[in-house]
Every structure is written in structure tokens, then in C-alpha cells.
Amino acid sequence: MVLESFLSAAPALETLFRAHAVDVARLVQRLLGPGAGRADVEDLTQQIFLAAHRALPKFRGDSKPSTWLWGIATRTVFREIRSRSRHRKMVAALEGMLATAPQQSSPHDQKLEQRQELARVWRCLMEINPKKRMVFVLHELESMSGREIAEYLEIKEATVHTRLYHARRELMEKLEKEAR
């Protein structure tokens, strides 16, 4: 056994994790919505860094590391939110959040009301095609530009704008319908 056999534990991925784990976990939560639990977020964060680990040898420095990692993260989450079982699970969690009736006037209940309002919005968002929903969340909640989103999702910027337009429109129409 030689020393070189120990060198596979190089800290590069670890350093990348330290630098970006919090942001990646936040991005995952934003994209999954409030229906996701801690286990879902941790599981996807783990998947993203493992995907990054597999892709590291091919990183050539053509983009910033954060751009590169964001691309991996968004595409990994996108694959996940397209899955029917994930969709069902998230919707069921949102329905569960809406099922608890808040009592009036206590601070605890105000928080519950806020959560329910969020769940109502997300229930409508979950009815939108994941491609459009993804662009909506990245732009509206993560303040990413059309160009950045196009780069991460590997699509044209014009496609980002089209999806954003439809997502905004569909969401407001669904919310209006629900409010009536």
C-alpha cells in the first residue's frame, strides 16, 4: 500500500460543498416549494453534489464555478420535479398544510395562516408545467436573469421569456379563479 492510495480523499468537492451547500439547499427548497420536507431537501442537495463530483473532471473553466454548479443544481431538481411520484407527494403535503384550520388572533395562528397562504399559491403553481414553473421560481424568487436561466437550463433566452410569460399568466389566472 502506498501513500498515493490515500489521495482519493482530496478535499476539492468538500471545499465546493462548504462554499455552496447553503445556497444549493436554499435553491432546492425554492424549487420544490413548501411541500418539501427536510429529507427531500437533503436528499436532493446530496444528489446535486454527487452529480457535481461526477462532472468535476470535465470542468474546463469555461464558466464560473458557481454558474457551473447552479447549472447542475437546476437540471437535477428539474429532473426530480418532473417525476409524477414527486409531484403527487408535494401536492399531498400542500393539501395537508391547507387542511388545518387556523383559529383567529393568536400569533401562532397568524404564522399558520401565512403558511396556508403560501400553500394555496403553491398548489396553483404545482398545476403549471414544471418547465414554466422552474423558470418562474428562478426568476421571481431567486432573482436570476433570463440569460442566467438560459445558461443553467441550456435553453434559449427567448424560450425563458416565453415560459416566464405563460407561467405568470397561468398562475394569476388560477389564483383569480380560486379567489372567486
Residues in touch with another protein (CB under 8 A): 1-3, 6-22, 25-26, 29-30, 33-34, 36-38, 41-42, 45-46, 49-50, 53-54, 56-57, 59-61, 64-66, 68-69, 114-115, 117-118, 120-121, 140-141, 143, 146, 160-162, 164-165, 168-169, 171-172, 175-176, 179
* CB closer to another protein, 78 vs 121: 121
Measured from the CB of residue 128, what is the shortest distance to another protein in angstroms? 13
C-alpha cell read off for 173:
389566472
> Closest by alpha carbon to 91, among 164, 99, 45?
99
Nearer to another protein, 9 or 84 (CB): 9
Three-state SS for 109? helix
Shortest separation between residue 111's beta carbon and another protein, angstroms: 9
Q: How far is the CB of 3 from another protein (least distance, A)?
A: 6
Q: Rounded to 10 degrees, what is the CA torsion of 112, 114, 118, 124?
A: 90
Q: Are 87 and 123 in contact (CB under 8 A)?
A: no
Element (H, E) at 34: none
Nearer to another protein, 56 or 92 (CB): 56
Cβ at position 127, least distance to another protein in Å: 14
